Amino acid sequence: MTKFIVVAGGVMSGVGKGVTTASIARILMEYGYNVAPIKIDPYINYDAGTLRPTEHGEVWVTDDGGEIDQDLGTYERFLDINIPKNNNITTGQIYKTIIDRERKGKYLGQTVQFIPHVPDEIKRRIREAGKDNDIVIVEIGGTIGDYENIPYLFAMKSLEREIGKENVVYVLVTYLPIPSHIEEMKTKPTQQAIRLLGETGIFPDFIICRAKIALDKIRKKKIETYANIPSTHVISEPDIDTVYSIPLDLEKEQLGLKILNELKLKPKKHSNWNDWKNLVNKIKHPKKHVKVAIVGKYIDIGDYNLADSYVSINQSLLHAGAALNVGVDINWLDAKIFENSPKKINDLKKFNGIIVPGGFGSSGVEGKIKAINFSRLNNKPYLGLCYGLQLAIVEYARNVCKMGNANTTENNEKTKFPVIDILPTQKEIMEKSDYGATMRLGAYAAVLKENSKVLKLYKETNRLKEDMKMIEKLKKDKSQKFRLGILNKSKNIVLERHRHRYEVNPKFVDQLEKKGLVFSGYHLREDNTKLMEYIELPNHKSFISTQAHPEFKSRLGNPSPLFYGFVKACAK
């Protein structure tokens, strides 16, 4: 029987519900259980694909091509598993399914109503996403009291009635403020959140208390008396320097065993946190530091959401650093400064390495190309991600192959040398679609070149073996098999996730190769179109780029090969 944990948030948003959910899941995995995390986003967007990253943070991409809220990324980074898009549920999906069914006459004349049809569809999706797992952990987005999460709380209560309370645990994550004028931690907002949750018929089994510092006994007792929750079930989660210490902190209060006990389960194995602790320790006290510049387009963002728009890159550098015992100091540079004051390019000298991340549109493009040119000429480690590969090709075409105004047609439609372009089949998809999902999305196989630097990195991090296993699985999955393309019996195949429209133009590959650019991996589509996936320069300290977004497959304890190679080169 699958057991369920429901995580909801009280008091305010942004206190770390996602990280708490991921930590609980990680803890239960440590006790030997299969855990499926599910994120509910109560907004009406069908998925996160059309959301502005500056408002909502970076869009997460799954293996099966879903464009999802960042929380799924947090889960993957903590759990080191690939989570499919069905593990994200939005109100848009619920209503779309119901209305589509109604239009097809599937309700056989019934009046389609909020109750029971909406909660039924919610439960159906949760069960479907969680099937074959021991424990399903459902994080309900938003804050208790929001109108939009009421249907989900209602659905969970109804699920509880169907399967029995002993199979469901409710966790409420709250925040305890310490107003500066009184310097005392206040429990009142938490008490009110508990009462508000009670209005839906749900009483929390555990309260996780986010706060600047840990709760003292008096505060815990207060919550016990006012809200009737034993103080042993009131768990502190104070601010910390790295989110990866949270599972360790929660385990200090034996949260895992307490939850298992509530679900009438026993640990299947002893938990072992040694490797995790070791990595956390390296994050906190690295032996060495490197300085990395990320040259991107930040102009419309302001200071606040910046890091959030590239959270996966941030995390990938952290994971690679933890594996190598290196702290990576990240500096966000606006590409436009190199356009407005060309001399500023020399500021890049002080960095150990340069990254050009993914991006869209023409803003800052020339500045990024200047930064890439600087890395290439000065033997500075360079990592290009998606747009970062495309612009590295533009740079090489212009300055080495002497193709004057070479460009991507995203930036200049009329260029004589469209080295990056939309391929004809992609055009078809775009013409047919109403915007959402016109991109190459999700995991695609790439065949890697023998003796390439890229292949070496996938071997060194053990990723090649892992991916070859995944490929065997994909071969059996009818709906996803197209992601493999034509493999030509290669033994060096890897899988990375994509999110882009433009591709390296096959017409220019020969000329670029002749001038020394190495294409170290490609995807061969079933229609025989070759899509270039990796490039590298053989006589450079480390100049590697990929059309993919390897940052979506980086986990603590299992870093992304390209980030690993980049940080290693920076530290040399």
- Which stretches of the chain bind ligand GLN, using CB under 6 A? 358-360, 386-387, 410, 499-502
Choice between 324 and 389, CB closer to ligand GLN? 389
Choice between 23 and 545, CB closer to ligand GLN? 545
Choice between 205 and 503, CB closer to ligand GLN? 503
Instruction: Identify whether the C-beta of residue 197 lies closer than 8 Å to the C-beta of residue 203.
Output: yes
Task: Residue 157: name the closest of 112, 192, 114, 198 by CA.
Answer: 198
Q: How far is the CB of 386 from ligand GLN (least distance, A)?
A: 3
Q: In Å, what is the CA distance from 460 to each residue of 4, 454, 489, 545, 568?
A: 38, 10, 22, 18, 12
Question: Count of CB atoms within 10 A of residue 63's CB?
Answer: 22
Burial of 141 (0-12, 13-18, 19+ CB in 10 A): buried
Q: Which residue is nearest to ligand GLN (CB)?
A: 358
Q: How far is the CB of 379 from ligand GLN (least distance, A)?
A: 25
Q: How far is the CB of 532 from ligand GLN (least distance, A)?
A: 12
Q: How far is the CB of 551 from ligand GLN (least distance, A)?
A: 11
- DSSP, collapsed to helix, strand or coil, labels residue 292 as strand
- Which pair of tokens denotes residue 123? 């439960």
Task: Residue 504: name the closest of 558, 423, 395 by CA.
Answer: 423
Give one DSSP letter per residue of 410-451, joined into a string. Answer: TT-TT-S-EEEE--HHHHHHHHHS-STT-SEEEEEEEEEPTT
Burial of 221 (0-12, 13-18, 19+ CB in 10 A): middle
Q: How far apart are CA 357 and CA 359, in angstroms?
A: 6
Choice between 58 and 205, CB closer to ligand GLN? 58
Q: How far is the CB of 359 from ligand GLN (least distance, A)?
A: 5
Choice between 134 and 421, CB closer to ligand GLN? 421
Q: How far is the CB of 477 from ligand GLN (least distance, A)?
A: 25
Choice between 222 and 398, CB closer to ligand GLN? 398
The angle, 0 to 180 degrees and rounded to 10, between the axes of the packed helices 561-571 and 453-460 is: 100
Q: How far apart are CA 507 and CA 378, in angstroms?
A: 29
Task: Residue 138: name the closest of 290, 20, 271 by CA.
Answer: 20
- Which pair of tokens denotes residue 70? 């960042």
Residues taking part in catalysis? 386, 549, 551
Q: How far is the CB of 505 from ligand GLN (least distance, A)?
A: 12
Geometric angle at alpha carbon 50, from 330 and 146, rounded to 5°: 90
- Which residues is 238 bridged to in the sheet? 211
Choice between 226 and 360, CB closer to ligand GLN? 360
Residue 116: is the preceding peptide bond cis (ω within 30°)?
A: yes
Choice between 200 and 438, CB closer to ligand GLN? 438
Q: How far is the CB of 313 from ligand GLN (least distance, A)?
A: 11
Question: Count of CB atoms within 10 A of residue 368's CB?
Answer: 30
Q: How far apart are CA 131 and CA 35, in angstroms?
A: 10
Instruction: Identify whether the C-beta of residue 420 lies closer than 8 Å to the C-beta of residue 505.
Output: yes
